Copies of this chain bind each other. A is one copy, B any other.
Amino acid sequence: MSLEKELNLSVPIKLDSHEALLNIYYTASCLKKKADEFFKPFGLTDVQFNLMVLLKHQAEDNGGLSQARLSQMMLVNRANITSLVDRMEKAQFVERTASANDRRYNIVKLTAKGQKLLKEVEELYAREVKKIMSVLQELEQKKLISMLEKVRAGLQ
């Protein structure tokens, strides 16, 4: 359905390019809502799940990741990670360890509880993602990815 109908606008969007941009924006917003709904029963948010996935799959030798590294991979300000890890530490999903080499760093790792939960959720999540994106054929998905990469590249 067109954005115009979905948002119940009384006047159509003038620029095609604006409509395309708004589509990216609103689709992401809908996906986020859907994700938050999906994660809620597990006591997680989409952001927290994302952080756990990064800890599991992107840490070499399972050695954990620094908060700064996490902030780069999540495209957020590093100030953000402080409170996020605070909350997740309180929920016992992750733990901070001071780095031995460089005392500026906090190394964040999954706890046993975090690992167990992640294992449980990850598979269901993958299935859900496949289902959601299955409305597009494989070639379309690749085309979509390449178009969005072009848009990001154009932003500098």
Hey, which bits of chain A sit against chain B, CB under 8 A?
A: 1-3, 6-11, 15-21, 23-32, 34, 57-58, 60, 72-73, 75, 126, 129-136, 138, 140-145, 147-155
Contacts and interface: CB of A to CB of B under 8 A. Distances in A.
Identical copies of this chain, number: 2
A140 B135 CA distance: 18
Contact of A15 (B26, B27, B130): B130
Nearest to A23: B148
Contact of A129 (B9, B11, B18, B57): B18
A28 B30 contact: no
Contact of A17 (B3, B58, B130, B148): B130
A11 to B, nearest CB: 5
Nearest 6 A-B pairs (CB), nearest first? A28-B28, A17-B133, A135-B154, A23-B148, A20-B141, A27-B148
Contacts of A142: 16
A79 to B, nearest CB: 15
